[in-house]
Structure 1
Amino acid sequence: MKPLKHLALILGLGLSAGSCVNLNESPESFISSEQFYKTQADALTAVNAVYFLLNSGGSTVQTPYNTLFATGMDFMSDDIDPGPGATNPDVRSQSVLNHSSTGLRVLQIWQQHYAGIKKANVAIEKIPGINFDQTLKNRLVGEVKFLRALFYFNLVRLYGDVPLILQDQTSIKTADLQIARTSAKEVYAQIEKDLNEAVPVLLNTYSGADAGRATAGAAKSLLSKVYLTQEKWAATVAKAEEVISGPYGYDLFANYADVFLPATKNGKEHVFSAQFKSNSLGQGNNQAPRSARPGVPGMIGSFADQVRFYTNGNDKFFSIYKLYSPKDLRKTNGTFVTKYKGSDGKFYATLNAPGDSIPFLNKYWDPNTVSNLSESAANVPIIRFSEVLLIHAEAENEVNGPTAKAYASINRVRKRAGLDNLTPGLSKAAFRDSVYLDRRLELVWENQRWFDLIREKDANGKIILEAALKKVGKTNVTVPKHLLYPIPQQEIDLNKLLTQNPGW
């Protein structure tokens, strides 16, 4: 089989609405879906097209795991900010929660996910009718159900009630395209259904060109996270334990940096990732140049992504960088970098802020593409084994308190980071806070923090979003308004059955 990502290009999946293209209104030929879905190769192409919506883009289009979540979500958090190179006023406004229902990123996240769902629905409908090996056919449908579940999981967490569309919309009648929002409860039920149906037909591992496809372990891992988000604690524990003790071969890399290096991608810790490849039709990871320091000879960095600085006591330039223990190997062994070596052989330190220095984010750095970082082949983790361990520790604590099993899971993550084991005897609340902190430090800049801010709770059961953002100077945050994104106004204008979220 051809690599799952790049084969999809033949379907013409360019999503740049701003492209200047002269369209011929009288095409000389047209291939209908009934004509196209005839062979096993057609089925593979249809499935690969769904994967493509995770990471396509290049220089003209942002998709969820190729900078869109960073500019449309991470910048709103307490960890990451738009750097000097992020000049889009819509993005900078959203980063301080001044976004609105007409915001570009609010619209793009919605549209990109529904584009993926549309392609998933087509594949799920058409593949069963194609004549080829039934086992492979079932597996391909399972992969697409996994991806559809992931798309809906992101949507329901960001927007709440959303239209649940499970069939391809082929009608061009306006009335047929008016679809009301479905309750979040029903959306979650469908997510669980898709994942549970995917598990028995997916493989445990893939190799070669198929590396990176959804596995049974990935479906179970994502299901554990879906349960965690809904506070189905016992179900979370059970599903996470199936992954931890299952036949999937997951483990932690001994070296934290190996989680992100292209040379070790799709390894034992990578449960599911958005795949990137350098020098292949512009499908490199564009997060790499966005985070890099400008002004280094032989390297082009735009410094569009940076840590969020805020006042903490007498320190006016505090950031997540300073939350790490000096012993924590994650700090400068994968997450941040403090100097670059230029093509002139000289080292260039981080830029100076008044009275302090700027640590640069480093997770998507590719040492093989230094002269053209936009061709970075570093994958973006969507879920990895360390997170499954932290999910298990958190849920086990909620069900039974900080048991030996809960300690064992979090301590595996801490040991790899070079930290001491958590002290036995912590209270349930103290253990919960420890898991929260390790999640934050382990998963920073992996499109996780915003979702955690609207999910995690303090000792009084209050969602942490408001307090966390006010602590870093984002004082205009309000709850419950900012627990959800606004429904894009453009979508409401097109679909009169859509309603707006409270406060927007």
Structure 2
Amino acid sequence: MKKYIKILLITTLIISFGCKTDDFLDEPLRGQEQLDDFFSTEEKSLNFVNGIYNKVNGESWWQVTMPRQINEMATDDNWSGNTLQPRPDITGIAAYNVFPGSTYFNSFWESHYIGITRANIALERIPGVNMDENLKTRLMAESRFLRAFFYFELVRSFGGLPIVTTYTELLEPSISDKVRSPIAEVYELIESDLNSAINDLPLKSQQSAIDLGRVTKGAAQSLLAKVYLTEEKWQSAKDMASEVINSGEYSLETQFENIYKVNHYNGPESIFEINYFTDLNFSEVGNGLPITNGSRGDQGWGWGSPTSDLENAFLSEGDNIRLRSTIIKHGEPVYGDPTTTSFDGKPTENKSGRTNRKFYVPVDERPVPYQRATIALPYIHIRLADVILMHAEASYFAGDEGTAKTSLKTIRDRVQLTTNMALTGDALRDAIWKERRLELALEHHRLFDLRRQKINGVPRIALLMGPNGSFVNYNVNISTDPFETTNLGEPQDKGKFFDINTHLVWPIPPEEIQLSKGNITQNPGY
């Protein structure tokens, strides 16, 4: 994957679709001959599919990974963090005083639809290319997986979507009449694409060294398990997660701290990740999160600071192993970095004086200069522990508490925590949900977990946020954290504006509504 993605990033082989999503509605590719050329050989077809991968994390740090980071800020795990720079398009989202025209909603939508368009073109054109049939089958499957991935991220973020499945649709005059399809129809497409991809993708163990990092059968099964979990298709989610767990293709990292380790690519636990690397001759080839997420006292920008509420969750379990590899705290040593014995969390400019350890790079392992988008830190979308916890949750809701507890124990055993095997009912459910929070903390899963998990039919996010939410109450009436309660540059009542009738999805970018002449409608409340 690294080799292929590097080729993409340093060449202009891939088509430019313009800046706006609806540009693909109004500005078709620059000529049929140019499109033919992109699929004139096996190598060019492969490079085109590489260009679809390039949209998974966006072609620049702000397009996709920054919106994912902002999603995390809108949960109980993160503050906006940076109290020095006024950025209402960031802090407003985190506080549920949402600015619909935020660049980050726009860029996320646009980048994902460009990825969908590239996948559609590949699916239409690759069948006609004279090339190795096995490679052709694999590239088609990869394109279907990636299209499903993009639609899944969009439907979870915005709700119903305009569905476009072919490039030829974009050439028809009626394309401007596209409207939002119901959520159920979007999920039907996602399931169809993933089930098709599963049949044709290789196992991880069948990949050559140069192909490591490309999507596999296990990646498609894992994503489909998460789709089923989101749809509350409990037995299907359990069965699909079981396929991955029992495949023998993946294993948990022995040491938790090795999961997010710089230059550690496609480890035994990794199922779907994007590799980054350091090459100072080119921009945007490295991971930007260590800088955007890093402390302002450590060459970072200070966005996305862990909350004391999250730290308390680790402490309540006696979970020091994961805590030390998840949260860095001002004035304390950094686990795994012997050069930093007293971390500068810059509490005068940072809401919590805390930083995400998972995106931190030890000083001796940093490139020089140490700057945004130059850092060889992988970004993991799906790993085995996530799948095991999906299996635990789906098993519980499918009525199989014994299996749920066994999967829960597997995750806790790694970090030397005991599991109460007598747990049952709501207590078991809550233990599984808490384990997801601790295991996957700050990896950009929390918002979507809180939106889909329900207690008596009410999404958990609505129980944490809002004027009477438990997270708001903790910060306003209970917390004595010395950093959060003294730096009020970010208000302590973050989340009080949450409205369950509005904020279970984000607003459709206003530019898209305008460009569609109102055929794409806005979500209620925005």
Matched, 1:331 2:323: yes
Contact 2:119 2:146 in 1 (8 A): yes
Aligned 8 A contact 1:164 1:187 in 2: yes
Aligned partner (choices 503, 506, 512) of residue 482 of structure 1: 503
Residues 13, 376 of structure 1: alpha-carbon distance in 2 compared, 3 angstrom cutoff: farther
Query: In structure 1, what is the Cα distance between the partners aligned to 2:399 and 2:169?
Result: 50
Asked if structure 1 preserves the Cα contact closer than 8 Å seen for 2:67 and 2:105, the reply is no
Describe the SS at the equivalent of 1:147.
helix
Task: Give the equivalent residue in structure 1 for 2:489.
Answer: none
Structure 2 residue identity aligned to 1:478:
D
Contact 1:342 1:348 in 2 (8 A): no
Match of 1:21 in 2: none
Residue aligning to 2:87: 88
Q: What are the within-5 Å matches in structure 2 for residues 50-449 of structure 1?
A: 50-58=52-60, 61-64=61-64, 66-71=65-70, 73-84=71-82, 87-169=86-168, 171=170, 175-205=174-204, 206-248=207-249, 250-279=250-279, 281-282=282-283, 283-296=285-298, 300-308=299-307, 318-325=308-315, 326-336=318-328, 338-339=332-333, 347-352=342-347, 358-367=353-362, 368-369=365-366, 371=368, 372-374=370-372, 375-403=374-402, 405-421=403-419, 423-449=420-446
- Secondary structure, aligned partner of 2:359: coil
In 1, are the aligned partners of 2:74 and 2:94 still within 8 Å (CA)?
A: yes
CA contact (8 A) 1:486 1:501 kept: yes
Alignment-derived partner of residue 24 in structure 2: none
> Unaligned stretches of 5+ in structure 1?
19-27, 309-317
* Cα gap change, 1:47 to 1:427, in 2 (>3 Å): same
Identity %: 30
Partner of 1:91, secondary structure, is helix
The separation in 1 between residues aligned to 2:234 and 2:193, in whole angstroms, is: 20
For 2:309 and 2:292, locate their aligned partners in 1 and report how far apart those are by CA, in whole Å: 19
Alpha-carbon shift at residue 488 of structure 1 (Å): 1.6
**Does the CA-based 8 Å contact 1:101-1:487 persist in structure 2?**
yes
Answer yes or no: is the 8 Å Cα contact 2:451–2:461 preserved in 1. Answer: yes
Q: 1:117 is paired with a residue of what secondary structure?
A: helix
Distance 1:13 1:324, change over 3 A: farther
For 1:145 and 1:350, how far apart are their aligned partners in 2? 43
Label 1:144 to 1:342 Cα distance change in 2 as closer, same or farther (>3 A): closer
TM-score when normalising by structure 2: 0.84
* TM-fit CA distance, 1:305: 2.4
Structure 2 unmatched runs, 5+: 21-29, 473-492
User: Residue 90 of structure 1 aligns to which amino acid in structure 2?
Assistant: D
Matches within 5 A, 1:34-45: 34-45=36-47
| 8 Å Cα contact 1:116-1:148 kept in structure 2 | yes
What's the offset of the Cα at 1:171? 4.8
Q: Residues of 1 paired with 2:352 and 2:72: CA distance?
A: 21
8 Å contact from structure 2 (residues 278, 367) kept in 1: no
Point out the more displaced range, 103-112 or 474-483. Answer: 103-112
Once residues 491 and 350 of structure 1 are traced to their aligned partners in structure 2, the CA distance between those partners, rounded to angstroms, is: 39
The 2-side partners of 1:497 and 1:294 are apart by: 43
In 2, the alpha carbon distance for the partners of 1:486 and 1:223 equals: 26
Paired residue type of 1:150 = F
Deviations 1:300-357 (A, max 9, x none): 222222124xxxxxxxxx3312210333311102454644699998744444479x97
TM-score, normalised with respect to structure 1: 0.87
The 3 A distance-change label for structure 1 pair 345 and 69 is closer
Distance (Å, rounded) in 2 between the aligned partners of 1:412 and 1:467: 29
Distance 1:119 1:446 in 2: 27
1:191-214, Cα deviation, whole Å (9 max, x unpaired): 011011101211101343321110
Q: Distance in 1 between matches of 2:463 and 2:31?
A: 58
